[in-house]
Amino acid sequence: MTTLEAIRGRISANKFDPTQELSLQEIRELVDLAAQAPSSFNQQNWRFIAVTKKEDKEKLTALAYGQQKVADAAVTFIVLGDLRGHERLAQALEPSVKAGLIGAKDVEGWSGMAAKMYSDERMARDEAVRSGSLAAMTLMLAAQDKGLASGPMIGFDPEGVRKAFGIAERYLPVLLLPVGRAAPGNWPRKPRLQADQVLAFGSGAGL
């Protein structure tokens, strides 16, 4: 599937075939693809909890106001952003250091810059949402490429999810992402505003 076909073909699915599972390897590959997204300083401050077991999915469905897709999808990812990702920058950059792309000096310099930027709590939260979203979008298009459907959700109780799934304070739930085989009965693709309705040239005055 070409990228443009994936972009234009994707729908946000509500109906999933509950009989279809994904292997651990398939789930890992989706996350590996999601993790190819960009992030500030390459801090890779996204994290994923793959919810696949029946009882866990039922718990999560209840925390998502009963939305059945959470239970029916082969996996529902809880996509998290690490509010303190900058503190782990050295670990995130280790593969780049090992590959000889950057040196210890770069790691030190970037860590200093990141520490300064993200001492602002709002910046840190924005970054967690941004990185989690960039990775989630990549995951959705990767899933589409593999013939899978996805249905991103923000309708859930984030604090309830945190407690029920043992999620540390440092992680912000950014969205839930059911992924699996589509069942019949999904919405057709919803048309969008025209480009000229969301785009201005050279100034925001026209928006």
Interface positions, 63-122, toward its own copies (CB under 8 A): 78, 80, 91-92, 95-96, 98-99, 101-102
Residue 62 in the binding site for its own copies (CB under 8 A):
no
Cβ-based nearer residue to its own copies, 172 or 183: 172
Residue 152 in the binding site for its own copies (CB under 8 A):
yes
Of residues 110, 116, 137, the one with CA closest to residue 38: 137
Judge contact between 69 and 16, C-beta under 8 A: yes
CA 113, distance to chain mean position in Å, is 25
**Residue from 90, 104, 115, 168 binding its own copies (CB under 8 A):** 168
Interface positions, 180-199, toward its own copies (CB under 8 A): 187-188, 190-196, 198-199
B/e letters for 33-61, b = 16+ CB within 10 Å, e = fewer, are bbeebebbbebbbbbbbbbeeeebbebbb
**CA–CA gap between residue 69 and residue 153 (Å, rounded):** 10
Segment lying near its own copies (by CB under 8 A), choices 15-23, 24-32, 66-74, 178-186: 24-32
How near is the Cβ of 183 to its own copies at its closest, in Å? 18
